[in-house]
Structure 1
Amino acid sequence: MGLSGHDVERFEASRPRLQAIAYRMLGSASEAEDAVQETFLRWQGADVDRVEVPEAWLTKVLTNLCLNQLTSARARRETYVGEWLPEPLLAGDPLLGPAETVEQRESVSFAVLAMMERLPAGERAVYVLREAFDYPHREIGAILDISESASQQILHRAKKHVAEGKARVELDEGAARRVVEEFLAAAISGDTQPLVRLLTADVVSSADGGGKIPARTKAFSGAPAVAKFLRGLFKPSEAKRAVVGGEPEVYAWVANGDPAVVAVLDGRVVGVMCLEVTADGIAAVQNQVNPDKLERATAVWARSDHGKPLFTAF
């Protein structure tokens, strides 16, 4: 028996929230959308008239699908070529979800998404449901089939792990773009010292090419080494142009609430470099160049009013 129009509407009303939960859980827009679609299929096959609280039912189904997905995804990532980084979401993407509180904004930051990759799946689920969506521990316990006190203990552990990263500086969109402009000016200056002054002493740089685009296979750290690498990265060369197929236009933007460098070639986003800004400077430079993880960014970019590029790279 098919769903009534009302039943479909009830699901669609929950879709934005479900997508935002799934993205934070999985760090992948495409996997999040697949999980939400599978949740809809489960809704379609259920006796929905007997579901007393649709939001709770849908959240429980989705969360458990994500937990299963995390188990298989982590097995695949053991054979992933190079560093695995989350899929970036550009400013204005509805998949980013709620951003009214510091906790909600932090939960979708690139740095926290990367950090959560190290958490056990259960910790990640509790952290997302509580910090990003303010679910009471009683409801989280019902979703995960654990006690309320267990949920509280798991959240404590998760927050402790996430707090091991450096505290981000909250920036509005204008300030974030100014950070990127200063960063890019230093990167193309031909001198590493301006970059070194912007970076923390223990800054970490990583990149995800997915084996499809040349990228350093291991993260490296230290302001001098990272500055030297970035200076070389933005230095024009025929080899770089050959890899990406031309000369990308470079923009100062925002991704996952962080300052971001966006490289665009013929309307296609070919790179998103997120900058983790702390009180001491830029603590991480995370560069996503895997084309499979930039398709959604390209679609969002096409709908945005992005103005003129700062310069043309390579």
Structure 2
Amino acid sequence: MRGSTEETGTAGYRPLLFSIAYGMTGSVGDAEDIVQDAFLGLTRAHQAGTVIAAPKAYLTTAVTRLGINHLSSARVRRETYVGEWLPEPVVVTVDRPGPAEHAELADSLSMAFLVLLEALSPMERAVFVLREVFGYGYPDVAAITGKTEANCRQIFARARRRIDAGRTTADSAPPRERRAEGDELARRFFEATEGGDIHALLGMLAPDVALYGDGGGKARAIGKLLTDQQRVVKLLVFGLRKVRKLGASLRPARVNGRPGAVLRDAEGRVASVIELDIADGVIRSIHSVVNPDKLGHLGPVSDMARLPEK
């Protein structure tokens, strides 16, 4: 279906367009739909005889404005969401590349960052994502959003203050070193979790480590944000021990550009996706998505943690 709407020479823009849409919505499915709608709009414009001199700019503008409209209509649903809200994970594994095979996701599109973006208005989010994540200049941001350059600068400054107020300490190591060290720490973390080595785990977690769980009212997840280091460790160890008895296994993955893992049941179905936020040599936050609605794009979903239908 995509081939029928993506004309020769424009399909290569899909990675960028998907990433912008995902940064706007935090949803893989919604991002795909928005990109598809943008390509459909381009096709219709061509069929109507409209000359599109800059198709990349046309598509980027369409995706951004569709994202703004989507966020405006989705805000009520987010306000009534059951429990902690986390974005749909973008997962890269050796055996199942998933949607990230066509996504130019930056490190700044981690789950923690996407959660921070939820505090912004749709327009603030659009301006901030375009400028901060994808490096668009203010003239381009203004053209894409339909605002003046001066207005975009004001919007960005306001959004930046709100985002910076919620950010945690960033690791000062160069990106490549940070990634290598993070991958190694993640490997030891999951190994210690599976082995039940509580002492080793305590040494890897920040004293104020935060554990977020997103079940969306449809799967068993922690009821609220957990920040007690001892309780986080015990929940992880005993929780994994319980599902391991049912044949579940953890498989390393990169989740939103960060170290993580996918929990699969005995039949290989996805039960949970875990992302680790690592900085200064310790794990500062853990994000676990078990809401089945947010895992379907990764393949068959397990009913291991699913709550019974009411």
8 Å Cα contact 1:96/1:256 also seen in 2: no
* TM-score of the two chains, using structure 2 as the length reference: 0.82
Distance change (3 Å), C-alpha of 1:211 and 1:90: same
Equivalent runs, 1:64-103 vs 2, <5 Å:
64-91=65-92, 92=97, 93-97=100-104
Structure 1 residue 174: Cα displacement:
5.1
Structure 1 residue 140: Cα displacement:
0.6
Distance 1:34 1:281 in 2: 37
Q: Is the partner of 1:283 in helix, strand or coil?
A: strand
Provide structure 2 residue ranges, at least 5 long, that are not aligned to the other structure: 301-310
Distance 1:225 1:7 in 2: 50
Distance change (3 Å), C-alpha of 1:39 and 1:194: same
Structure 1 residue 148: Cα displacement:
0.9
What's the counterpart of residue 248 of structure 1? 248
Distance 1:288 1:65 in 2: 26
8 Å Cα contact 2:107/2:258 also seen in 1: no
Distance 2:69 2:102 in 1: 21
The one-letter code matched in structure 2 to 1:208 is D
Provide structure 1 residue ranges, at least 5 long, that are not aligned to the other structure: 99-103, 300-314
Q: 1:232-283 CA distances to partner (integer Å, 9 max, x unpaired)?
A: 222226xx86xxxx42121222211111021123232221111100115211
Distance change (3 Å), C-alpha of 1:125 and 1:95: farther
What's the counterpart of residue 214 of structure 1? 220
Q: Would you say how many aligned residue pairs link Structure 1 and Structure 2? A: 283
Equivalent runs, 1:177-188 vs 2, <5 Å:
177-188=183-194
What's the counterpart of residue 275 of structure 2? 274
8 Å Cα contact 2:5/2:43 also seen in 1: no
Distance 1:7 1:259 in 2: 33
The one-letter code matched in structure 2 to 1:67 is I
Equivalent runs, 1:72-151 vs 2, <5 Å:
72-91=73-92, 92=97, 93-97=100-104, 104-106=106-108, 108-151=109-152
Structure 1 residue 32: Cα displacement:
0.3
Distance 1:23 1:284 in 2: 21
Distance 1:117 1:19 in 2: 18
The one-letter code matched in structure 1 to 2:148 is S
What's the counterpart of residue 30 of structure 2? 31
Distance 1:39 1:256 in 2: 24
Distance 1:6 1:114 in 2: 32
8 Å Cα contact 1:89/1:296 also seen in 2: no
Distance change (3 Å), C-alpha of 1:40 and 1:198: same
Matched, 1:298 2:299: yes
What's the counterpart of residue 165 of structure 1? 167
Q: Is the partner of 2:120 in helix, strand or coil?
A: coil
Distance change (3 Å), C-alpha of 1:77 and 1:259: same
8 Å Cα contact 1:267/1:298 also seen in 2: no
Which stretch of structure 1 is more off in the superposition, 262-271 or 165-174? 165-174
Structure 1 residue 36: Cα displacement:
1.1
Equivalent runs, 1:32-47 vs 2, <5 Å:
32-46=31-45, 47=48
Q: Is the partner of 2:287 in helix, strand or coil?
A: strand
What's the counterpart of residue 207 of structure 2? 201
Structure 1 residue 168: Cα displacement:
4.0
Percent of aligned pairs with the same residue?
Answer: 34
Distance 2:220 2:6 in 1: 47
What's the counterpart of residue 55 of structure 1? 56
Which stretch of structure 1 is more off in the superposition, 196-205 or 169-178? 169-178
**CA RMSD of superposed structures (Å):** 2.5
Distance change (3 Å), C-alpha of 1:228 and 1:55: same
Distance change (3 Å), C-alpha of 1:267 and 1:188: closer
Distance change (3 Å), C-alpha of 1:191 and 1:97: closer
